[in-house]
Structure 1
Amino acid sequence: PGTEVQLAANATATAVPGQDRMPFRDVFGSQFYAEVSVGEPALVMRMLLDTGSPTTTLFSQHCGDESCRTHRLYKSEDSATFERDGRPIRIPYATGMVSGIVSRDDFRIGKFTVANMTFTEITAAPGRTFMYTSFDGVLGLGRPGKNEIVYDGMPPFMDRLWASGQLAERMFSLYFSPTRNYHNWLTIGGQDAESMAKLVQPLTWAPLISDAYWQVAAIGMTLNTGTLDIRQVVFDTGTSMIGVSKKVRDQIVHSVWHFTMNDIAVISCKSTLNLTITIADGSTISLRDDELMLPVGAIGRCMLSIVALPIDDDTIVLGTPFFQRYYVSFDEGNQRIGFGRTRQ
């Protein structure tokens, strides 16, 4: 209950028709969630904002796994607007597999409502992957094209919202505050002028090259003096690190002084790092020094915020370290993505 009060107190209503701005919480720099009301009477759920997945999920009361019991659970019989679908479903997240059943209910965020939204009730989440996460479900903000976690008859949340005629623009934007827990804003239906004013320079717009992911073309990447053949950039708020293939990650790790601890690259916190991705039009995305490190237990030691993912060698996935430094607009209407570094 205290969380809801705090987030509500930070909300500022916008006067733009078809647009609304709502706060979200950044937890330990690795998970960020907004509050979404589900069903009638409304059950407030903390939902991970995930641009890497189009599928919306909630932990269900029908899940007996320990990972589910640490979350607020969706109770279908308590909602007057619940509708049964019942199809079984399995969702392969990068952090683990979950399974459940398809259901429908009303979802409300800010001033917007998606009636009869199709989503997954998670009834099985084996292992301990989700036990210590701070969210009660995932709000899928991924693209509608076919990918490995898209299912027939389950359009993404933003597609449903756009089809309802409530939005001024088929767009949403994210701003991360330097203070982490406060004044982080999700703007649905456009861009937030107050957050845009914090940009160091105007947004750079890049055309999307995939209908399945928020993905743009690149012509290369450098880390300090080394060059890597990166050709695709994916923007994924559901990833807590910067992700590359194991081959590329090993090249990166061996290019800086380091040792490994449980296959995690550990470097001196005083290391100089400068990662620059060149987008196809010549514009760049840069992260440097402490923006690419996380402190670990040993004094003066940091973990490199670049990890191996099961992806192609020419692809990089930009997760939390990127979003904490850049304002990003996801523009489905114009098939593009905009990004600009913010003042820290």
Structure 2
Amino acid sequence: MLRTLSFVILNFSLSVFATEGPAVPHKILLSSRVAPIGKSLKRRQLSPANVPLSDFFLGTDLQWFGNISEVGTPPQNVTIAFDTGSSTLEFASTLCSTCTNQPRFNSSASSTFVDGGSEITIAFATGVGVTPVIGYNTELTLRNATDTVTVGGLASPDVPLYLITNQTADFDIDPFSGIQGMSAQPEGFFAALIDSGLPPLFSMYFTPLAVGNAELTIGGIDESKFTSELTYASQTEDAGDNWQLCSPGISVNGKTNSVLDVPRTIVFDSGTSNVVFPTATAEAIYSFISPHITPNPAENGTYGIACDLIPTLPAIIDIAFTSQDGTPFNLTIPSSELSVGPFADNTSLCQTLVNSFENYTIVGGSLLKHYYSVWDVGNQRMGFASNGV
């Protein structure tokens, strides 16, 4: 989920923690739905943790969530989406009267909970499901606090976090309680674990619901999930919190043009389902797929085609990158991802994968579920290997 805006109601501060070297991964399984560079690595190393993930979103296999095990004392279970497009840990609380579908954390029942006394409202440009970017109106009101957080048996005290005290209706469909940001500059429990000696990287294995066994490995790499060599590419120098790589060009069905064959920065966001490109790029992609894919005026920024035409369309989108050793490679979104299902107001019309919104260039679950991905905070790089799915 790409966070776009925050309105500060009361002052608050966030903490960023430090790093460490290799160890046995601790995995976090997912369901279908940096430490700062230059820090010393001179402390006892923690073993990585493996967390199972669940697949979610109305059969589209484009979002995943997992369990961070325990928050508070005594511990309460909290399920979250692990989101590389945001930074902080926030989840539904009993203070939230609008959080009607999610399990809610009861802060008054935790002896280690400390209320920070400040609130903010944040908005997201992309997020749950395949809702259009333009007009997307998803906001959370958050109250800052600290508490003990445990993941895979690894406990961290005094972790900065946020309780959701109000949310807009777009979040109602979520079966999970909140979001753990996994940005390139970690915060929350991941930062706390790194500060305690966990290696500063994580890996994601996203799979369709039919395949299962999706997982997040915090602090390591699960080599059983891929057979090819990992190919690494360096973050752009201006990446900041984002996970982003420079791409020299895009091709569709083996073809390109002057709009697609230019360098651009691609943001990788595990919390986003669709692909989001500026309008000219989106329409250049569709020009190589079908003239029958057209904008849907009922939902700005989306495109659609008659659902019965979808199976006839080749739609192989190759995004080019350059590895750290200078070798070109492609990350591919196959034809199977073109349709994200019927529009709610017109079930004969299927929404196609690429949304348009100026100044946004984002890929999400539709690409990531075809690769095992390594998000290396300490070396500010990303690694990819085919996962065979």
TM normalised by structure 1 equals 0.83
Conserved 8 A contact 1:171-1:330: yes
Distance 2:374 2:101 in 1: 33
| 1:1-344 map, 5 Å | 18-28=47-57, 29-36=61-68, 37-65=70-98, 68-95=99-126, 96-126=138-168, 128-144=169-185, 155-165=187-197, 167=198, 169-180=199-210, 182-195=212-225, 198-199=226-227, 201-209=228-236, 210-224=239-253, 225-227=255-257, 228=260, 229-255=262-288, 256-257=290-291, 258-261=293-296, 262-263=298-299, 264-267=302-305, 268-269=309-310, 270-280=312-322, 281=326, 282-296=328-342, 302-312=350-360, 316-344=361-389
Change over 3 Å in CA distance of 1:173–1:292 after alignment to 2? same
Residue type of the partner of 1:192?
A: D
Distance 1:254 1:289 in 2: 15
Conserved 8 A contact 2:316-2:335: yes
1:152 alignment counterpart = none
Conserved 8 A contact 2:83-2:179: yes
Aligned-partner SS, 1:160: helix
Q: How far off its partner does 1:158 sit?
A: 2.2
Distance 1:108 1:309 in 2: 38
Conserved 8 A contact 1:57-1:120: yes
Conserved 8 A contact 1:59-1:72: yes
Provide the aligned C-alpha RMSD in A.
Answer: 2.5
Residue type of the partner of 2:303?
A: A
Greater shift, 289-298 or 226-235, is seen at 289-298
Q: How far off its partner does 1:79 sit?
A: 0.7
Distance 2:158 2:46 in 1: 23
Distance 1:124 1:246 in 2: 33
Q: Percent identity?
A: 25
Q: How far off its partner does 1:212 sit?
A: 1.6
Q: How far off its partner does 1:248 sit?
A: 2.2
1:172-217 CA distance string (max 9 Å, x none): 101123445731111111101221xx34x21110011112211111
Conserved 8 A contact 1:26-1:32: yes
Q: How far off its partner does 1:44 sit?
A: 0.8
Conserved 8 A contact 2:149-2:189: no
Aligned-partner SS, 2:248: strand
Gaps of at least 5 residues in structure 1 are 1-6, 11-15, 146-154
Residue type of the partner of 1:19?
A: P
1:218-275 CA distance string (max 9 Å, x none): 1111123233135111111110111212332233344422244434322321201121
1:150 alignment counterpart = none
Change over 3 Å in CA distance of 1:180–1:33 after alignment to 2? farther
Change over 3 Å in CA distance of 1:104–1:181 after alignment to 2? farther
Conserved 8 A contact 2:339-2:352: yes
1:276-298 CA distance string (max 9 Å, x none): 11113421111221133234378
Distance 2:155 2:376 in 1: 20
1:293-324 CA distance string (max 9 Å, x none): 23437899643111124534xxx311011111
Relative contact order (C-alpha < 8 Å, sep 6+): which is higher?
2
Residue type of the partner of 2:248?
A: I
Conserved 8 A contact 1:25-1:180: no
TM normalised by structure 2 equals 0.74
Conserved 8 A contact 1:25-1:181: no
Residue type of the partner of 1:173?
A: S
Q: How far off its partner does 1:110 sit?
A: 1.2
Distance 1:320 1:30 in 2: 5
